[in-house]
């Protein structure tokens, strides 16, 4: 807004502030138009030298007081808007800090879980490796035992064959002795 050739910039966060600004601008424009029209009529009436009749100090004082009141209202509204903004910024900042803390805590927790999973995987891999080696040793031991038992069985089969042969020979002799 431009007042008396000076540019004033107002920014409001509330509808009330905007309404005050519009009312102030309208009032200033009305005052300026009245002054301009009075100045024109005064210059046209100045030929008879009577300027005091065209000028009403009580109206000007009233308008100036109104402008001051509206300016104060604008300033108060701006302070309120600034306070609301500061409160909002503080609240959002606290929320952001809380969320950052949650993210940090979850990241730490994720790292710990990943470390635990890695440890469990290593333990399981070591356990599987141990069990595979143990099973291989047991398999070799059992294979050796099977080979030993097969040799022993083969020996028993041979002894049985010898015993059968001896028994058959003796049976023949006995039969032969009985027949004679």
How many structural domains is the chain composed of? 1
What integer best gives the mean pLDDT of the chain?
A: 84
pLDDT of residue 6: 66
pLDDT of residue 57: 57
Tell which residue, 6, 11, 9, has the closest CA to residue 77.
11
Task: Kindly report, residue by residue over 63-101, the tens digit of the pLDDT.
Answer: 788 888 888 888 888 888 888 889 999 999 999 999 999
pLDDT of residue 32: 78
Segments forming the whole domain that contains residue 102:
2-179
Q: In 4-159, which ranges are E strands?
A: 6-7
- According to DSSP, the residues that pair with 6 across neighbouring strands are 3
Q: 175 or 102: which carries more pLDDT confidence? A: 102
Q: Which residues of 112-130 are buried (b: 16+ CB within 10 A; e: fewer)?
A: eeeeeeeeeeeeeeeeeee
pLDDT of residue 114: 97
- Tell the residue number behind the tokens 């909002």, with chain if given: 88
Say if residues 80 and 19 touch (Cβ distance below 8 Å): no
pLDDT of residue 51: 47
Task: Kindly report, residue by residue over 105-140, the tens digit of the pLDDT.
Answer: 999 999 999 999 999 999 999 999 999 999 999 999
Q: 130 or 31: which carries more pLDDT confidence? A: 130
Q: In the predicted model, what is the mean pLDDT of residues 142-170?
A: 94
């Amino acid at each position: 807004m431009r007042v008396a050739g000076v540019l004033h910039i107002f920014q409001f966060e509330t509808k009330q502030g905007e309404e005050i600004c519009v009312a102030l601008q309208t009032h200033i424009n009305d005052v300026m138009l009245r002054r301009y029209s009075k100045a024109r009529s005064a210059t046209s009436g100045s030929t008879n030298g009577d300027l005091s009749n065209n000028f009403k100090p009580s109206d000007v004082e009233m308008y100036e007081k109104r402008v001051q009141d509206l300016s104060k209202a604008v300033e108060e509204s701006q302070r309120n808007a600034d306070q609301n903004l500061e409160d909002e910024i503080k609240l959002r900042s606290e929320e952001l800090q809380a969320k950052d803390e949650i993210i940090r805590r979850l990241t730490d927790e994720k790292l710990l879980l990943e470390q635990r999973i890695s440890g469990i995987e290593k333990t399981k891999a070591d356990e599987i490796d141990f069990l595979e080696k143990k099973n291989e040793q047991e398999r070799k031991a059992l294979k050796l035992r099977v080979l030993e038992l097969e040799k022993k069985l083969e020996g028993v089969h041979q002894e049985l064959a010898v015993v059968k042969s001896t028994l058959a020979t003796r049976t023949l002799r006995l039969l032969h002795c009985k027949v004679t």
